[in-house]
Amino acid sequence: MTRIALIHALSHSVAPINAAFERDWPEAVRMNLLDDSLSADLARSGRGLDAAMHARFQQLAQYAVDTGAEGILFTCSAFGPCIEAVARRHAGMPVLKPNEAMVVEAAQGQGRLGLIATFAATLVSMPPEFPAGTALEPVLAEGALDALNAGDTQRHDALIAAQAVALRERGCTRIALAQFSMARARAACEEASGLPILTTVDSAVRALRLRTNQAAR
């Protein structure tokens, strides 16, 4: 059985990705590594993705490799360059950023894409990952992450859905939810906006399964 390491910077990302694996790739053996200080330290330091943050990601990845992981999926989208550095170091195995599979799918679509995040740093790191020329409208759902942290999932989903409606009114024809922790708001966004909603969770599992199988051949 294939062993997959899931490395999380937010506790809210754990349940959505594990649910997707249970549904779409149940035979994979999952290990979950959570360092919920990563996002807090990034937001607090003001130094961005510095050498110390890169070193932390390398250490987390090496721990996963040492336990026998055959693939690594990072589930927080604010750390793209750190994850890319891990992928270069472990070039012989699949190492995925949480959003890269969704970015590929989104780039194949038509019309202006609304990108909603609840963590401000995500809107700095993620837009450059889209192909040049992608019509992108990024927006922060302010207060949604605080609501989720407080256990108010209804307010979390409603704040994200309100941004989906606003993006539709600004001409977007589809919406992407930038973070794994936001996957739970998909239905609310669809109902409120009437637009197609892309999430990172399902596409990430599909891509990781495909790449892991290819690497095993």
User: Which letter does DSSP use for residue 131 in this model?
Assistant: P
pLDDT band at 191 (very low <50, low <70, confident <90, very high): very high
Q: What percent of the chain has pLDDT over 90?
A: 68
pLDDT of residue 122: 85
User: Which of 196, 127, 193, 199 minimizes the C-alpha distance to 164?
Assistant: 193
| pLDDT surpassing 80 at residue 77 | no
| pLDDT bracket for residue 48 (50, 70, 90) | confident
pLDDT band at 204 (very low <50, low <70, confident <90, very high): very high
Please compute the mean of the pLDDT values over residues 21-44 and round it to a whole number: 92
Q: Using an 8 Å Cβ cutoff, are 77 and 200 in contact? A: yes
Distance CA 164, CA 59 (A): 37
pLDDT mean over 173-183: 92
Assess whether pLDDT exceeds 90 at residue 193.
Answer: yes
The tens digit of pLDDT for each residue in 160-173 reads: 999 999 999 999 99
Residue that has been written with the tokens 């693939």 in this structure: 71
**Rounded average pLDDT over 87-99:** 93
Neighbours of 32 (CB within 10 A): 14
Q: What is the mean pLDDT of the segment spanning 125-130?
A: 87
Task: Look at residue 180 in the predicted model and tell me its pLDDT.
Answer: 86
- Quick check: 3 and 187 in contact, CB under 8 A? no
- Per-residue pLDDT at 38 exceeds 80: yes
pLDDT of residue 181: 87
Contact 99, 198 (CB under 8 A): no
Q: Mean per-residue pLDDT for 111-119?
A: 94
Q: Which pLDDT does position 45 carry in this prediction?
A: 79
Look at residue 120 and tell me whether its pLDDT is greater than 80. Answer: yes
pLDDT band at 215 (very low <50, low <70, confident <90, very high): confident
The mean pLDDT of the chain is 92
Q: Does the pTM exceed 0.95?
A: no
Structure tokens at 150: 């407080």
